[in-house]
Amino acid sequence: MTSSTERREGDDDLARQRRKREARLLDEHIADFPELTLADVVAEVLAARDTAPGTLDVRGYLATEGHGWRTIEAVVGYLDRYPLPVAPTTRGPLP
């Protein structure tokens, strides 16, 4: 029988492996612009989302910026796993 401590340690190891995998993924250079990493493009999307009014069409935005489908799908896949937090509003405090 597996104890709860062993499961937690296994979960911690699995979480650590996932974090390492995500870090490697974000550090990869993209084919469209070899000087950029996936993390750079994700940061660009987050910045565009924060400055654009309304909802940002990530695929459309990246296509307009000249990124190919592989980069677009990698960024969208990453953002699907880690949803964007709600953008701050400039409307002031809630009533």
Start-to-end C-alpha separation, the chain: 53
Residue 73 pLDDT = 95
Residues 14-70 pLDDT 10s: 888 888 988 898 999 999 899 999 999 999 999 998 888 888 899 999 999 999 999
Least Cα distance to 38 among 13, 21, 16, 14 occurs for 21
Residue-level pLDDT at 41: 96
**pTM exceeds 0.75:** no
The pLDDT of residue 74 is 93
- Residue 82: the pLDDT is 77
